[in-house]
């Protein structure tokens, strides 16, 4: 199959890097796929969402940044509005350990964390900030102060606890400059090109991503909740389902399988297509899903979120970019985790083939029911 020449995202050169480690926050959620994805695929009614966060070591300063923090163990202590929302929309949720305990078990004191970046305010990303000392700065996205600094119980409908917010210095990233990376507004966090925060709009107020330089030429993009399931990102023209068989390293369900088993169930309507199902050729280079516009959608602005996904596809096509999303369960089968390998990082992702190994892991969840 013909593939177009992949783009290259232009980023100012730098020799400064950060070290990236992945953490399984032990936050596991089962919820209906229609809140995240459209159209509904019969074989995929639910999403089983693992939740990852990332520890960033700035090598020149020695500062540690925690990007997201999973959920708190004591969900009953969330503000009532959030608790009610979980009960009404989530089929099942389990949190085994707080991220602070995971860090401690790996020999990293919460007091060593210089900054916690909340990609956004949702309960499965903010952890329990009270477990970190007042010296830990909380970094948030645009409009956070305006929307959330009066929390619960002062505001009965508050979605964050006032006591948590008041215990830490809050730094809001405004993206006031015109600097962009790809289609996204960007902020050079350390001022040396090693770690950028990105504005990834559409899912929630002030939604942030991050771009981590793992070598002078390679990067890991932390996409948070810009995409919950990679079937909304792939396949594309740059990453088509192009081979007759998927190799075992790419799909663990069976020793090998025909790609056409998946393209037959591809039901997104394409321009110029008369039938509901796409041709096999078009299905091999079109994502299985779009962003949900269902009344229960978790996306604040679905059309904006869809454009964000499309812009991220350019990063995904760049051979020097490895995209990691908070709820991509395939990561657990591909990358080392701080939970059981505290000293293992993701920086050699390109030479170790992590991106290719995880490219089609999501297809396991779309396994056709007729097989």
Each residue's pLDDT tens digit, 66-76: 999 999 999 99
Question: Is the pLDDT score of 128 beyond 50?
Answer: yes
Is the pLDDT at 316 greater than 60? The verdict is yes
Report the pLDDT averaged over residues 172-184.
96
Straight-line distance from the first to the last Cα atom of the chain, in angstroms, rounded to the nearest whole number: 26
Residue 141 has pLDDT above 60, yes or no: yes
pLDDT of residue 35: 95
The pLDDT of 138-162, averaged and rounded, is 95
What is the pTM (predicted TM-score) of this model? 0.92
Q: What CATH class has 18-237+290-366? A: alpha beta
Distance from the Cα of residue 42 to its chain's centroid: 25
Is residue 169 within 8 A of residue 89, CB to CB? The reply is no
**pLDDT at residue 186 above 90?**
yes
In this prediction, residue 282 carries a pLDDT of 83
Residue 28 pLDDT greater than 80, yes or no: yes
- pLDDT value for 270: 43
Residue 55: C-alpha distances to residues 60, 85, 165, 342, 346 (Å): 15, 29, 21, 11, 10
The vertex-59 CA angle with 55 and 61, nearest 5°, equals 105
Where along the chain do its domains lie? 18-237+290-366
Average pLDDT over residues 262-287: 65
pLDDT of residue 257: 52
Element (H, E) at 258: strand 257-258
- Residues paired with residue 199 on neighbouring β-strands, in sequence order: 208
Average pLDDT over residues 88-94: 92
Question: What pLDDT score does 73 carry?
Answer: 97
Percent of the chain with pLDDT over 90: 79
Q: So what's the pLDDT on residue 152?
A: 96
Between CA 104 and CA 229 the distance in angstroms is 30
pLDDT, averaged across the chain: 90
pLDDT per residue as tens digits for the range 205-252: 999 999 999 999 999 999 999 999 999 999 999 998 866 545 545 555
pLDDT of residue 138: 98
């Amino acid at each position: 199959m013909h593939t177009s020449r992949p783009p290259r995202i232009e980023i100012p050169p730098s020799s400064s890097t950060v070290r990236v480690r992945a953490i399984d926050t032990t936050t596991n959620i089962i919820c209906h796929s229609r809140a995240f994805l459209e159209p509904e695929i019969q074989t995929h009614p639910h999403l089983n969402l693992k939740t990852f966060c990332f520890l960033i070591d700035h090598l020149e300063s020695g500062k540690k940044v925690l990007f997201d923090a999973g959920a708190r163990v004591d969900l009953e202590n969330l503000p009532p509005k959030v608790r009610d929302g979980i009960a009404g929309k989530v089929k099942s949720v389990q949190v085994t350990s707080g991220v602070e305990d995971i860090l401690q078990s790996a020999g990293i004191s919460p007091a060593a964390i210089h900054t916690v970046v909340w990609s956004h305010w949702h309960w499965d990303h903010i952890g329990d900030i009270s477990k970190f000392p007042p010296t830990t700065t909380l970094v948030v996205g645009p409009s956070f102060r305006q929307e959330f600094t009066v929390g619960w119980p002062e505001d009965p409908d508050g979605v964050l606890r006032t006591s948590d917010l008041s215990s830490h210095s809050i730094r809001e990233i405004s993206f006031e400059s015109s600097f962009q990376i790809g289609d996204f507004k960007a902020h050079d966090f350390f001022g040396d090109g090693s770690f950028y925060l990105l504005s990834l709009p559409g899912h929630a107020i002030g939604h942030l991503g991050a771009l981590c330089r793992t070598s002078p030429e390679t990067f890991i993009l932390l996409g948070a909740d810009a995409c919950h399931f990679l079937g909304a990102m792939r396949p594309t023209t740059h990453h088509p389902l192009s081979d007759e068989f998927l190799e075992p390293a790419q799909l663990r369900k069976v020793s090998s399988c025909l790609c056409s088993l998946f393209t037959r169930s591809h039901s997104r309507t394409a321009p110029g297509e008369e039938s509901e199902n796409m041709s096999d050729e078009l299905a091999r280079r079109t994502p299985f899903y779009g962003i949900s516009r269902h009344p229960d959608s978790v996306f604040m602005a679905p059309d904006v979120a869809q454009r964000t996904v499309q812009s991220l596809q350019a990063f995904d096509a760049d051979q020097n970019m490895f995209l990691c999303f908070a709820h991509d369960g395939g990561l657990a089968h591909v990358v080392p985790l701080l939970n059981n390998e505290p000293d293992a990082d993701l920086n050699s992702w390109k030479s170790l083939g992590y991106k290719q190994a995880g490219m089609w892991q999501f297809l396991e969840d779309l396994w056709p029911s007729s097989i």
